[in-house]
Homo-oligomer: A and B are copies of this chain.
Amino acid sequence: MAAVSIQPHFLSSTLSVPFLPPPFPASPSSTFLSKTTRLMISSCLSSSGSPIMDPQTKFKEFPYALAPIKTLMLELVSSVETRLGSSLLPCSLPPDVQYYHNSSGSAEATLFVRSGIPTSPVDFILGSWIHCKLPSGGTLNITSLSTYLKSSTEAPNFIIEIIQSTPTSFVLVLDMPPRKDLILYTEYLKTFYEDTELDKHRQRLEKLPEVTPYSSPSLFIRALTSPTGILVRIEAGETTKTEEIIQDHVRPAANEIIKIWLDSCASVNREVGEADKDYLAKRDLITRTKTLEIDLGTSLPRLFGQQVADRVLGVLKGFF
């Protein structure tokens, strides 16, 4: 198994993101990644061979994910699409953005974006996975789904990300990141985090002996995380146990939280005044701009080459 111990660093590019889809590792040159990881990522860019795949369906195939991760992700995507289906436009990404890879084929990724129709509070949903062969012979797999609401509604977003470098350990990010300052807006804290009892899922997971709290190396990401956010490292020791934890603990938590998000955030068109709308737009914009500065300039070119990065970024900026 790969001796990579720092996939968590990739979280930096995830939670802070908007601009950067969850599966993209953070800039290898940024403070988010250790030197070792940067070297490992660089190694993904070598060797030869290029996979041939159907870009239209690739995202939902999860060809490299552990079986229970694939099951979970398909359930989550299905929950979102079933509930929001009629208010979501089809994924219209170009095929070579829906699926892309580096020149050697050692790193490949998918993107799946569905925008909300104009009357929907949903801006867009974004799914993706990344798969990168490591020099040690192992692989790095990052699987994620995140949702983004418009500034016409104040509700939190949703994110799940599973970052796995070996079959026996992974980092889990599962959260509804707030879009307002929880100190200044205590009613927001009560509505979305206390009344929904979100914390019980975190508490249950953290009782497992295999689970330890995880701190993102990025202070910005920590500040973005909600007080009930699940950021944990899970070291199971063996693949069967890993799959069991995902199946028996992560899966029910994630399914319950996406249900809370769908019930309390995505399906409720709360009236937001102009001042609040400006506030939300400003806060979202700052988040995105900052992420762009610290991540995108270097990470995509390094992982996939400048040409692929320009192509993917060019399309993504249209959504953010």
User: How many angstroms between the C-alpha atoms of A283 and B287 in the bound complex?
Assistant: 21
Of B183, B186, B219, the residue contacting A227 (CB under 8 A) is B219
A290 within 8 A of B: yes
- Chain B residues, Cβ within 8 Å of A222: 227
Of B182, B219, B220, B290, the residue contacting A223 (CB under 8 A) is B182
A67 within 8 A of B: no
Interface set, chain A 105-145, CB cutoff 8 A to B = none
Q: In the bound complex, do residue A183 and residue B224 qualify as a contact, i.e. CB atoms below 8 Å apart?
A: yes
Identity of the chain B residue whose Cβ is nearest the Cβ of A213 in the assembled complex: B213
Give A167-186 as 1s and 0s: 1 = Cβ < 8 Å from B's Cβ atoms.
00000000000000111101
A261 within 8 A of B: no
User: How many angstroms between the C-alpha atoms of A264 and B196 in the bound complex?
Assistant: 39
Give A271-287 as 1s and 0s: 1 = Cβ < 8 Å from B's Cβ atoms.
00000000000110011
Identity of the chain B residue whose Cβ is nearest the Cβ of A220 in the assembled complex: B189
A75 within 8 A of B: no
Q: In the bound complex, do residue B223 and residue A183 qualify as a contact, i.e. CB atoms below 8 Å apart?
A: yes
A256 within 8 A of B: no
Identity of the chain B residue whose Cβ is nearest the Cβ of A186 in the assembled complex: B290
A148 within 8 A of B: no
Q: In the bound complex, do residue A183 and residue B219 qualify as a contact, i.e. CB atoms below 8 Å apart?
A: no
A194-B219, A199-B219 known; A186+B228 contact, CB < 8 A: no
How far, in Å, is A237 (CB) from chain B's closest CB?
A: 19
Of B184, B228, B283, B287, the residue contacting A219 (CB under 8 A) is B228
Q: In the bound complex, do residue A223 and residue B286 qualify as a contact, i.e. CB atoms below 8 Å apart?
A: no
Give A80-124 as 1s and 0s: 1 = Cβ < 8 Å from B's Cβ atoms.
000000000000000000000000000000000000000000000
How far, in Å, is A222 (CB) from chain B's closest CB?
A: 4
Q: In the bound complex, do residue B219 and residue A286 qualify as a contact, i.e. CB atoms below 8 Å apart?
A: no
Q: In the bound complex, do residue A282 and residue B184 qualify as a contact, i.e. CB atoms below 8 Å apart?
A: yes
Of B186, B202, B213, B283, the residue contacting A183 (CB under 8 A) is B283
Q: In the bound complex, do residue A183 and residue B184 qualify as a contact, i.e. CB atoms below 8 Å apart?
A: no
A24 within 8 A of B: no
User: How many angstroms between the C-alpha atoms of A287 and B183 in the bound complex?
Assistant: 7
A10 within 8 A of B: no
Residues of A bordering B, CB below 8 Å: 181-184, 186, 189, 193-194, 199, 202, 206, 213, 215, 219-220, 222-224, 227-228, 282-283, 286-287, 290
Contacts A182-B220, A219-B227, A219-B228 supplied; 5 other A-B pairs, CB < 8 Å: A183-B223, A183-B287, A186-B286, A202-B215, A223-B227
A-B contact pairs, 17 of them (CB 8 A): A181-B183, A181-B283, A182-B223, A183-B224, A183-B286, A183-B287, A184-B282, A184-B286, A186-B220, A189-B219, A193-B219, A199-B219, A206-B215, A213-B215, A220-B227, A222-B227, A223-B227
